[in-house]
Amino acid sequence: MIKLGISAFYHDSAACITNGNIVLAAAEEERFTGIKHDSSFPKNAIKWLLHSTVTKISDIQEVHWYENPQIKDDRVRRTFAKRPIKTFFLRQRYKKEQLRNSPQALLQALGYTGKIIYHDHHYSHAAFSYFTSPYRDAAILTVDGVGEWETTTISRGKGNKIEKLISIDFPNSLGMLYSTITSFLGFRPNEGEYKVMGLAPYGDPSVYFKKLEKVLCHTSNKFYLYQKYFTWEYSQKIMFNKKLCQLLELPPRLPEEPLTQEHKNLAAALQKLYEREFLKLVETAKNITGSQNLCLGGGCAYNGVANSLAYKYFDSIHIPFAPSDAGSAIGACLDGHTKVSPYLGPEFQDHQIKRLLKSYDDNVVHFKLDEDLLIKRTAELLAAEKIVAWFQGKMEFGARALGNRSILASPRKPQMREKLNRVIKKREAFRPFAPSVILDDAYMFFNIKEPVPYMNQVVKAKVNFLPAATHIDDTCRVHTVTKKQNEKYWKLLNEVGRITKVPVLLNTSFNLKDQTITLSPKQALDRFIESDIDFLIINNFLIKKKHA
Ligand SMILES: [Fe+2]
């Protein structure tokens, strides 16, 4: 059975093609359009999928849509109906969007007239996490902003079945609470949450915690958010009102204003509150399933600090490589377990790269090396504190670069972090970078309980010689690498370890400020030339600037 999976119209639109439970290819729309978190119908991703898997649209037997538009529509209409006057213009806009965003019409325009199967939003999150996990028995916890009505679910996975046990509905949403404070702190919701997470260790959570926790209350298994502080039900522009400012006794920060200690304290309080609420859900998941294994899904599963705390109740935790809505395109297609790597995107052949390099002759020189020599040279450059853009094979699916579209550097000097943040990424100095490490050595350097292949847990570093990849509170968002996962990257880490005695590299996604992760060799070359990256490696081509 050939299926096309689609997620769209919230953020991180994506599509995939599966055959049985094998994922043939998958990509996010943003990589093709260059619009970060692009939420539009993923027509470019679909076009590429059909081409790369040599599939005609008529070969697609079923389309699996990651959520149920009818139930979502019910939530939107009922919510608007609570305040008919206040939401008048929103309703008009929503009606227009509804017409534009009909899955059936959009698929028809691509020539598809077959069956469309709609899944529950949180089921797709749960399915992606559970069916890509190694477990046949697990608790599944999904937490995000909002799906149709649901914002949080706890399910039990047993064999090929997912049984939902608890759900919490909009407007009670931990994801939206996190986004609201992100917006209060002057960052863009659905994007700035990483900044808030990075900022939190610089603050004192106790300053705002008691005030902030007043926005919610609990019954036995659920949390409720007092809507008097929020505008989620009637505004798409601002997520909070002046009552929240009064509660916190703090004015909201404008994006261009400096970050003060107060802002850091609020970020810390939010992270602490999120961790407390998340752990309560984890505890409930443990109590009602009795499982030793936990699968996490939904955008909130990118909160690596909170994720690591779940070991308090579970022996093993699985977080897939794209827990947010992008991964749901895959989740919607799965009805059983699968082994899938995150390397599901476009790849390029040497003859294409060679041809392209000719047109960049004025700017760069290149050397084609055999793999062993390439790895040796690259490791030497990294050991000599050079910054290397590393472009290999198939592009990753999900928000993280996992060694195929990465900017790499040595983590051994603190100046490297500053240089990468200031010169290359042009972003806030406080933002941390993640270390990649050979799995066998990871236990020596980091306080991990099991492999962390997708960079979604934040753990304490056991050593003090990785300053560029260690955050202010001695934590790291670690990425463990095995030969099976990514052989070439694993070899590179090994060679770096042989030269420096530290098989660890600082790994950040290959993109510059406000850009999506690099998709093609052309994009790689353009970004390399415009930036201060020292060397670019595309497959086995070592590329150097001519006028550097
Ligand atoms: Fe979601």
User: How far, in Å, is the centroid of ligand 1 from the Cα of 187?
Assistant: 20
Q: How far is the CA of 423 from the centre of ligand 1 (A)?
A: 34
Contact present, 225 and 214 (Cβ < 8 Å): no
* CA 287–ligand 1 middle distance (angstroms): 24
150 CA distance to ligand 1 centroid (A)? 9
* pLDDT digits 0-9 by tens, 360-370: 999 999 999 99
Ligand 1 center–CA 147 separation, angstroms: 5
> How far does the centroid of ligand 1 lie from the alpha carbon of residue 31, in Å?
19
Q: Measured in angstroms, how far is the CA atom of residue 200 from the centroid of ligand 1?
A: 24
Non-local (6+) Cβ contacts of 488 within 8 A are: 371, 375, 392, 393, 403
CA atoms within 13 A on the CB side of 38: 20
Distance 12 CA to ligand 1 centre (A): 10
CA distance 378 to 388: 8
> Which strands form 14-19's sheet, in the order they lie side by side?
22-28, 14-19, 2-7, 62-65, 115-118
What distance in angstroms lies between residue 78's CA and the mean position of ligand 1's atoms?
Answer: 20
pLDDT the model gives residue 138: 98
For residue 424, the CA-to-ligand 1 centroid distance in Å is 31
175 CA from centroid of ligand 1 (Å): 9
CA distance 167 to 122: 9
42-87 pLDDT, tens digit each: 999 999 999 999 999 999 999 999 999 999 999 999 998 999 888 8
How far does the centroid of ligand 1 lie from the alpha carbon of residue 28, in Å? 15
CA of 66 to the centre of ligand 1 (A): 9
pLDDT of residue 548: 61
- What does the block give as tokens for 152? 């949080």
How many angstroms is it from 120 CA to the middle of ligand 1? Answer: 10
- Max Cα separation, the chain? 68
DSSP percent split of the chain into helix, strand, coil, nearest 5: 40, 20, 40
Q: If you measure from the C-alpha of residue 197 to the centroid of ligand 1, how many angstroms do you get, rounded to a whole number?
A: 19
| CA of 36 relative to ligand 1 center, distance in Å | 17
Task: Write down the pLDDT at residue 220.
Answer: 80
> Taking the alpha carbons of 477, 478, 484, 490 in that order, is the dihedral positive or negative?
positive
Global pTM exceeds 0.85: yes
Q: Is the pLDDT of residue 91 over 70?
A: yes
E strands within 201-267? 216-218, 223-225
Centre of ligand 1 from the C-alpha of residue 297, in Å:
8
Q: Do β-strands 388-391 and 458-460 pair in parallel, antiparallel, or remain unpaired?
A: unpaired
Question: 329 CA distance to ligand 1 centroid (A)?
Answer: 11
pLDDT tens digits for range 93-109: 888 888 888 999 999 99
**Pairing between strand 2-7 and 14-19?**
antiparallel
How many angstroms is it from 285 CA to the middle of ligand 1?
19
- Report the pLDDT value the prediction gives residue 285, as an integer from 0 to 100: 98
Q: Give 121 Cα–ligand 1 centroid separation in angstroms.
A: 6
Distance 318 CA to ligand 1 centre (A): 17
Cα of 71 vs centre of ligand 1, distance in Å, is 14
User: Can you read off the two tokens belonging to residue 169?
Assistant: 């509905």
* pLDDT for residue 281 is more than 70: yes
- Angle among Cα 494, 508, 297 to the nearest 5 degrees reads 100
CA distances from 429 to 38, 259, 403 (A): 26, 11, 23
Q: How many A from CA of 151 to the centre of ligand 1?
A: 8
- Spacing, Cα 298 to ligand 1 middle (Å): 5
pLDDT digits (tens, 9 = 90+) for 171-209: 999 999 999 999 999 999 988 999 999 999 999 999 999
CA of 64 to the centre of ligand 1 (A): 16
Distance CA 338, CA 413 (A): 40
Residue 127 above 70 pLDDT? yes
Distance CA 520, CA 129 (A): 28
Nearest to 389 by CA among 536, 232, 200, 231: 536
- Strongest mean pLDDT among 86-95, 322-331, 458-467: 322-331
Cα 122 to averaged position of ligand 1 atoms, centre (Å): 7
Whole-number Å distance, alpha carbon 512 to ligand 1 midpoint, is 27
Contact of 402 with 390, CB cutoff 8 Å: no
Question: In angstroms, what is the span from residue 266 Cα to ligand 1's centroid?
Answer: 25
3-state SS assignment for residue 154? strand
Report the separation in Å between the CA atom of 450 and the middle of ligand 1, taken as the mean of its atom positions.
Answer: 26
CA of 505 to the centre of ligand 1 (A): 31
> Which two tokens mark 411?
């983590």
Token pair of 353, please? 């790269």
Alpha carbon of 440 to ligand 1 centroid (Å) = 34
125 Cα to the center of ligand 1, angstroms: 7
The pLDDT score that the predictor gives to residue 219 is: 86
- For residue 256, which amino acid is it? E
Contact assessment for residue 266 and residue 111, using Cβ atoms and an 8 Å cutoff: no
Q: At what angle do helices 487-500 and 371-383 cross, to 10 degrees?
A: 50
Mean predicted confidence (pLDDT) in 400-410: 97
Under 8 Å CB-to-CB from 85, ≥6 apart: which residues? none
Residue 203 Cα, ligand 1 centroid: separation in angstroms? 29
Amino acid 140: pLDDT: 98
**For range 432-454, the mean pLDDT:** 95
C-alpha of residue 344 to centroid of ligand 1, in Å:
21
For all residues of the chain together, what is the average pLDDT? 95
- pLDDT tens, 490-514? 999 999 999 999 999 999 999 999 9
